[in-house]
Structure formats: structure tokens, C-alpha cells
């Protein structure tokens, strides 16, 4: 279920004025609040399945939504509920949707559509959620899902969502040479008119123990350019909070808090002002590559990737490369903090912060104590200095827009 529901996670399009230039016009919150699922898809990077029963606390979700709504008053708040399979407990899902709808502009759910056994049943299920404030439905389908959910149920869910006037999305993970979404739709008789198609390439983050041969990945030679396409504050069923929900993105460097330990403001400050996040938003994952090469670690990079998220998750899940990224991130934070304070940062840092190609040996060592903006007692203001860039989507091998963070 863990796919991006927010076609434009951070938009600069409707910004105006100096304050708006430094804050997202739209804030996206994702809750992957359970790993419980009726399916066991091989590509599921978060190992969801029938035996996984962890659920994020309902009250904590509500509290987080309220804090987020208060923090981004005047801006658009979009909330996405995913899993696991959230429709396995429609009572809980209904309450969450109702709570979110009171505070957010858009409320969307992701599902594999197992519940859409026929139009009547689907109408009852979706009708109740729409009455509670649901505004969008994203349905996942692919060769990975097919053994667990008949394609006819996907068709029924999307056609029923149309009846209720919901925004509709089809999320379609694909491998090299596999059937594409439009071919699938034609084969199963699914009308995609008005459906936002999010076909994306499966990345190496798969279910534990599952391996795909290299030729199954849709990779292109070289280092992919482009900024982070899918920044979303994502709460997992464990309570951990991450910068995005891309498959493979649930790694330590992208973790920005825990729902039981960090209020929303602290999480948002890390999301907005963390050095890693700043580099990802402005230069993209490729911004770290010169530093990795300068550190003598260029051989750890692959010679082909299927996009910026593949590069990002590959670097950050490799301890040696992640350490270099962390040092670059700390330098960026120092530079940013110096800018806020109107002081000149130490020359060794100023010379290297955010300067691709600078010898990584000159960068400061990363320690918690040295990280400006991360002291929990003095959270930074909600306005961050980084200019928020248009959320860019990469074309998936010339196909439709790629869901930037789509674990299934």
C-alpha cells in the first residue's frame, strides 16, 4: 500500500511573498499505520502480510494531524492513509478519515482493492468513507499483486470511486520487460480515463529474502540528476518518522523522529532544515556523489540507476557512503545556521559546505552534539531557509509519471 498519494508533494506554484518562498505551500503527511495486509507481494519492501499485526496508535495519529494542521495554518494539508492494507479495518480507517477531514484539504487512501468484490459492496465501503470526508482513492495493481487480488476488483474499485467523484490513482510497479499499466488496463478492461497513472520501476528494496536479477531493473547508465521528487513526512506503523516513503527509504539517515518522542514541530523542523534534506531538495542525491568519489568510495556506486530515488536509497543504505553523506549534511546545516545568525562559518566548513568536489576530509565530523537545528530543546522556527522546489516527477522510462515513493 505504501505508495505516494501526493502528485505534487511540495509545490512552489502557489507561493507568494517572502515567507511563502521558504515554506511549502502544500504539506503532505503519510501514515503507513499498519503492516497488516491480506497479500504477500514479492516486491513489498516493508514485509507486509497477514501475520504482521502492528498498528500505529490511533490517538497519536489524530494528535499528529492536529499539530500539523496548526503548524501549517493557511497552507494546504494533504493526508494519506496507507499500510499494509488499511481496508482490513474499515472502522478504524473511517475514524481516521473523519478526523483528518476536519483538519486537512485532501484525504486519500491507498488500497489493493481486495474488498471490491462487486459494485454494491464497493459502493457501501467507499460510500461510508466518502461520508466521512474521503477525497481520493489510490489503487495498486501489478503482476506482483495479481496472485492475491483479482484484477476485476481493481476495476470495480476505480469505477466505484468515479461514481463518488473521488480523485483516482492507479499505482503500478513494473520491472524491465513486464507488462505496463496501459497494457494491463487494456487486457483487463479497465477504463483509465480520468485516472492518474503512476507507473514506477521496482527498485532493489524488496520483501526480505526476495531477489530479482539485475536485468529485471529498469536502469539507465550514469548518475541520475534531479532533486528529491517525493518529500513527504511519513509515519510508519512502528512510530518512526521518515522524510519520504520510497521503497528502501526507511533507513537511518532519512529518519526524522518518532511519534512517541517528537512532536510535529520538531519533526517538521528536521524535515525542513536537516542538511541531508536540504541537499536532496536543492541538488538531489547526485549532490553527494562528488564527495563520495573524493573520499575514495566511488567504486561503491553502481554504474546505472533507475532514478534519483534508487541512487538516494543505494547511497544511504551503504554505511560508508552514508557516513560521507552525513558529513556533507552537517556542513550544510552549519552553513545554513551561520546564514540565519549572520555570521561567517569557520573557513574549513564554509569552504566545503555544499561544494561538490570538495575534499571530504575537510568536512566536520558528524556528531549529534555538533548538529545545529537538531537540539530537541531549541527547535528551529517553522520557516526554513531552503527554497522549496517544485516537486519533480521522473518519467519512468518514457511512461507516465513515476510515483516517487512507492513501496509496493
Give the interface with ligand SF4 as residue ranges (CB under 6 A): 1, 37, 39-41, 44, 48-49, 83-85, 112, 140, 145, 228-231, 243-244, 246, 249, 254, 280, 285, 308-309, 312-313, 404-405, 408
Residue with Cβ nearer ligand SF4 (212 or 351): 212
Residue with Cβ nearer ligand SF4 (36 or 103): 36
Nearest distance in Å: CB 404, ligand SF4: 5
When CB distances to ligand SF4 are compared, the closest residue is: 408
Q: Look at residues 155, 96, 144, 97 and name the one whose alpha carbon lies nearest to residue 122.
A: 155
Nearest distance in Å: CB 136, ligand SF4: 17
In three-state form (DSSP H/G/I as H, E/B as E, the rest C), the secondary structure along 289-307 is: HHHHHHCCCHHHCCCEECC
Nearest distance in Å: CB 338, ligand SF4: 25
Residue 397 backbone dihedrals phi, psi, to 5 degrees: 50, 45
Residue with Cβ nearer ligand SF4 (243 or 352): 243
Residue with Cβ nearer ligand SF4 (101 or 330): 330
Residue with Cβ nearer ligand SF4 (174 or 309): 309
Residue with Cβ nearer ligand SF4 (195 or 309): 309
Nearest distance in Å: CB 359, ligand SF4: 25
Nearest distance in Å: CB 14, ligand SF4: 21
Nearest distance in Å: CB 93, ligand SF4: 14
Residue with Cβ nearer ligand SF4 (69 or 156): 156
Residue with Cβ nearer ligand SF4 (362 or 397): 397
Nearest distance in Å: CB 102, ligand SF4: 27
Nearest distance in Å: CB 63, ligand SF4: 25
Amino acid at each position: 500500500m505504501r505508495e505516494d498519494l501526493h502528485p505534487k508533494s511540495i509545490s512552489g506554484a502557489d507561493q507568494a511573498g517572502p515567507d511563502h518562498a521558504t515554506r511549502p505551500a502544500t504539506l503532505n503527511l503519510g501514515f503507513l499505520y499498519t503492516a497488516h495486509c491480506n497479500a504477500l507481494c514479492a516486491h513489498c519492501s516493508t514485509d507486509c502480510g497477514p501475520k504482521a499485526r502492528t498498528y500505529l496508535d490511533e490517538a497519536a495519529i489524530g494528535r499528529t494531524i492536529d499539530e500539523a494542521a496548526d503548524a501549517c495554518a493557511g497552507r494546504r494539508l494533504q493526508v494519506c492513509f496507507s499500510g499494509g492494507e488499511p481496508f482490513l479495518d474499515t472502522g478504524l480507517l473511517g475514524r481516521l478519515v473523519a478526523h483528518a477531514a476536519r483538519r486537512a484539504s485532501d484525504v486519500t487512501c491507498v488500497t489493493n482493492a481486495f474488498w471490491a468484490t462487486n459494485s454494491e459492496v464497493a459502493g457501501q465501503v467507499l460510500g461510508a468513507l466518502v461520508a466521512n470526508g474521503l477525497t481520493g482513492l489510490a489503487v495498486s495493481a501489478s503482476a506482483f499483486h495479481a496472485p492475491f487480488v483479482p484484477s476485476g476488483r481493481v476495476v470495480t474499485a476505480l469505477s466505484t470511486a468515479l461514481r463518488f467523484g473521488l480523485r483516482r490513482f492507479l499505482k503500478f510497479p513494473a520491472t524491465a520487460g513486464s507488462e505496463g499499466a496501459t497494457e494491463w488496463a487494456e487486457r483487463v478492461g479497465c477504463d483509465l480515463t480520468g485516472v492518474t497513472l503512476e507507473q514506477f520501476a521496482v527498485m532493489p528494496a524488496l520483501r526480505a529474502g526476495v531477489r530479482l536479477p539485475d536485468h529485471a531493473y529498469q536502469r539507465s547508465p550514469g548518475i541520475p540528476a534531479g532533486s528529491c521528487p517525493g518529500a513527504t513526512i511519513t509515519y510508519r506503523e512502528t512510530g518512526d518518522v521518515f522524510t519520504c516513503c520510497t521503497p528502501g527509504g526507511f533507513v537511518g539517515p532519512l529518519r526524522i523522529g518518532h511519534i512517541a518522542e517528537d512532536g510535529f514541530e520538531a519533526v517538521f523542523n528536521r524535515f525542513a532544515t536537516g542538511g541531508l534534506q536540504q541537499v536532496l531538495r536543492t541538488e538531489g542525491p547526485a549532490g553527494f556523489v562528488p564527495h563520495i568519489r573524493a573520499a575514495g568510495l566511488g567504486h561503491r556506486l553502481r554504474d546505472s540507476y533507475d532514478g534519483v530515488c534508487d541512487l538516494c536509497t543505494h547511497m544511504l543504505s551503504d554505511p560508508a557512503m552514508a557516513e560521507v553523506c552525513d558529513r556533507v549534511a552537517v556542513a550544510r546545516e552549519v552553513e545554513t545556521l551561520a546564514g540565519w545568525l549572520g555570521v561567517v562559518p569557520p573557513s574549513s566548513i564554509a569552504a566545503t559546505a555544499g561544494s561538490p568536489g570538495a575534499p571530504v576530509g575537510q568536512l566536520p565530523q558528524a556528531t549529534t552534539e555538533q548538529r545545529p537545528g537538531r537540539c530537541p530543546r531549541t527547535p528551529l522556527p517553522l520557516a526554513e531557509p531552503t527554497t522549496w522546489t517544485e516537486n519533480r516527477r521522473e518519467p519512468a522510462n518514457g511512461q507516465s509519471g513515476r510515483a516517487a515513493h512507492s513501496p509496493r
